[in-house]
Amino acid sequence: MAKVPAAYQATRGSMLDIDRDFYARLTDPVARERIDSLVVPIREGRAWRVPAGHVVRLSTLEGPQVGDLNLWNLHNPRERFWASRTRQLQRAHVSTFDRLWSTLPYLRPMATIIDDTLANYGVDGSGMDEQGGRIHDLLGTRCDPYVNRLLTGEDFDHHCHSNLVRAVLPHGLTEFDVHDVLNVFQCTGLNDDDQYFMKACPAREGDYLELFAEIDLLCALSCCPGGDLSQELWGPNAGDPLLTCHPIGVEVFRVDPEWLAGWQSPQPSPYAGGHGLTGPAIDWTAEKRRRQE
């Protein structure tokens, strides 16, 4: 069966056509120094700042653990991570050299993944396992107390949505600012019925994902209360995942300016923003006929 081409493809010189050699060099320990670190405890969330041109590393400190990541423009939280467009422009499961894109009307890379110890997960390093599971998920989103109430009739205040809400309050944000996430270290896919599934996290102690901040960022991460997701969370076979929960480590690195030579923080989309609200109306039927002539 012929491979169907991707709908969104990079043209030479576009923001999708990245300089892989440049980003690969930033993983060299000589290029950077650690300036900050913190630990996200189990079933909790934390928020922190990452200046443009710095690297942030997320690590599974003690064993497998899923985390839910949000990103905002530090100076303008209306610009935030756009999971669905990232899924279209990059992949449904992201890894090294994929970019995390911001919402309209900004539409620019907020961060670029530069290293991923799970990049070769799966069968023969293909990135996919026998059931079609892949890592660092954009298919799903954060667990939340509203769905939990819907499914179980019970309240639980430490879902990823609630963890993120608590984490960002000191930074002047609210529940309305929490958005669809990148599920780091999470293994997911679609089954034969096109239904979303989750599998046990394959990360081991010391695995990590590294992102290069393209703009000044406010980041927030929740340690999922489902832990490594080896236990079913809902339904007749639901278990207690507490014993599978582990903390996630966060480190921020300053990159030596010499290693950033030629790099510039990307600007927001240059689209003028008219949306056809001014100027003469276009007869698209006539235009289509003209192009067919």
Give the model confidence (pLDDT) of 35-88 as tens digits. Answer: 999 999 999 999 999 999 999 999 999 999 999 999 999 999 999 999 999 999
Indicate if the alpha-carbon torsion angle 155, 158, 160, 161 is positive or negative.
Answer: positive
Instruction: Give the span between the Cα atoms of 143 and 191, in whole angstroms.
Output: 20
Residue 239 has pLDDT above 80, yes or no: no
Indicate the pLDDT class of residue 251, thresholds 50, 70 and 90: very high
Task: pLDDT band for 27, please (50, 70, 90 cuts).
Answer: very high
Q: How far is CA 121 from the centre of its chain?
A: 18
Place of tokens 């996630």: 248
pLDDT exceeds cutoff 80 at 156: yes
Reported as a single tens digit per residue, the pLDDT across 170-208 is 999 999 999 999 999 999 999 999 999 999 999 999 999
Average pLDDT over residues 127-154: 93
pLDDT, position 62: 95
Domain spans, the chain: 27-292
The predicted model gives 224-232 an average pLDDT of 91
Percent of the chain with pLDDT over 70: 99
Q: Which residues in 20-45 are b (16+ Cβ under 10 Å) and which e?
A: eebbeebeeeebbeeeeeeebebbbb
Backbone φ and ψ of 62, nearest 5° = -125, 0
Residue 41 per-residue DSSP state: -
- Residue 229 identity (one-letter amino acid): L
